[in-house]
Amino acid sequence: MATSALELRRGLRRAERRRNLGGLVLTLPLVAFLVVFFLLPILGMLGKAVENHELSTVMPRSAEALRHWRGLGPPPEEIVAVVATELKEAHARRQSAIVAQRLNREQAGWRNLILSTARRLPEAPNGTWLSTLVALDPAWGEPAIWAGLRRAAQPWTDIFLLAAVDLARDDHDAIVRAPADQAIYLDVLARTFWISGLVTLFCLILGYPLAYLLASLPERWANPLLILVLLPFWTSLLVRTAAWIVLLQREGVINDFLVRMGLLAEPVALVFNRTGVLVAMTHVLLPFMVLPLYSVMRGIPPALTRAALSLGATPFLAFRRVYLPLSMPGVAAGCLLVFILALGYYITPALVGGAADQMISYFVAFFTLQTANWGMAAALATILLLASLLLYWVYARLVGIDRLRLG
């Protein structure tokens, strides 16, 4: 009797283990696929935000010497000598451009300083190496370029991450505000959050009453109307964006209509500006608000509101005290989802926005594809990723990860 119970338990445990193992084996292919083609590329890309190997690759002895040098102003002559000779060698190997490019990230204009110096450096110093360099360009007598070289000599750099929040390092390596002409990223970040917030608000204002009505209808009525919500959801993002350009442009359908009705004296700019971005993004993201709202509202028993009414509450009070609190999980789910998705938007603002409406994704793409400033692209991507993951975590805690359905 006792042994059979023990055997049974052991058998059950074995079955359970087999089941778990089977489950793991089935899950593994996707997990491995995502690790290789999703997780590792993203982690590697984030690494580029702090990568700093240019100087130590092209001018290893200079990097080594500068790394240990402390102080302000031109370093001792032996370090200057190493830098000058290696710069000359780098030029001979046609690699001085790599260093010039890296130094240009520290301060615009240093590309020229490095390239022209490398080109004109003599074989032997004219007096000291320092005076030779200063004779080529007085900037070599200033502390700034040497502090910049020292920063480029470190194994890692934080200048891109700092620049992404409008900070920089001065000649003492202290963290300071970035110069005004480069301090644009906090603005971009604030704009990204502001546009996402407004779009979320508009989606809620438009979506809540619609979801409320749909949830109060019998299903055979609600389902066909829901299909109207789903149609834009299945339609290409580019099609919807193109449609808004056609509607909103100066010679577009809406301006045409308003002018013909006499409501406008002449066409107004509705697209390639903030209005266009807000309208198009609200349109694109609205289904993501309506669907979670609808699914939560469907679950609210109508009897509760009826009970409040029969107890003497006005319809407004019954809505505010009973229905609204019960629909809050849907509001939270919809708002978080729309906000998270809006944060990463690139295509819609790029097509219907103006220069002042571009969000953070635009700058990631710009630095990657146009200027090959990969450190800056990675730093901005890091910030965007952190913001999205933080909100994803809030969503998982508040709504539950298993409720994540985009369709």
Which residue type does 159 have? Answer: I
Compare residues 45 and 139 and give the one whose CB is closer to another protein: 45
Tokens of 387: 């913001």
Q: Is residue 253 a contact point for another protein (CB under 8 A)?
A: yes
Is 201 or 206 the residue whose CB approaches another protein more closely?
Answer: 206
Q: Which of residues 149-188 bind another protein (CB under 8 A)?
A: none
Phi, psi of 176 (to 5 degrees): -130, 170
Q: Spell out, one character per residue from 20 to 39, where the chain touches another protein: x when CB under 8 A holds, - when not.
A: xxxxxxxxxxxx-xxx-xxx
What is the C-alpha separation between 278 and 349, in angstroms, rounded?
9
Q: For residues 403 and 396, is the Cβ–Cβ distance under 8 A? A: no
Count of residues in contact with another protein, rule CB under 8 A = 91
Q: Least CB distance from residue 304 to another protein, whole Å?
A: 17
**5-23 in b/e burial notation, b at 16+ Cβ within 10 A?**
eeeeeeeeeeeeeeeeeee
Site residues (CB under 8 A) for another protein, limited to 284-313: 286-287
Say how many Å lie between the first and final Cα of the chain, rounded: 54
Question: Does the footprint of another protein cover residue 97 (CB under 8 A)?
Answer: no
Q: Which of 145, 285, 308, 340 binds another protein (CB under 8 A)?
A: 340
Least distance from another protein to the Cβ atom of residue 393, Å: 9
Q: What is the SS3 string spanning 103-149? A: HHHHCCCHHHHHHHHHHHCCCCCCCCHHHHHHHHCHHHHCHHHHHHH
Q: Applying CB under 8 A, does 231 fall inside the site for another protein?
A: yes
**Binding to another protein by residue 15, rule CB under 8 A?**
no
User: Residue 188 contacts by C-beta under 8 Å, 6 or more apart in sequence?
Assistant: 358, 359, 360, 363
> Tokens 């994704």, residue?
361
**Beta bridge partner(s), residue 168:** 176
**CB 156 within 8 Å of CB 375:** no
Interface with another protein (CB under 8 A), residue from 92, 165, 176, 401: 401
Q: Which is nearer to another protein, 80 or 364 (CB)?
A: 364
* Residue from 121, 343, 379, 399 binding another protein (CB under 8 A): 343
Contact string (CB under 8 A) for another protein, positions 350-379, x = contact: xx---------x--xx--xx----x--xx-
Does 56 contact another protein by CB under 8 A? no
Q: How far apart, in whole angstroms, are the C-alpha atoms of residue 319 and residue 286?
A: 23
- Residue from 90, 204, 384, 399 touching another protein (CB under 8 A): that is 384
The correct pick among 72, 175, 246, 304 for binding another protein (CB under 8 A) is: 246
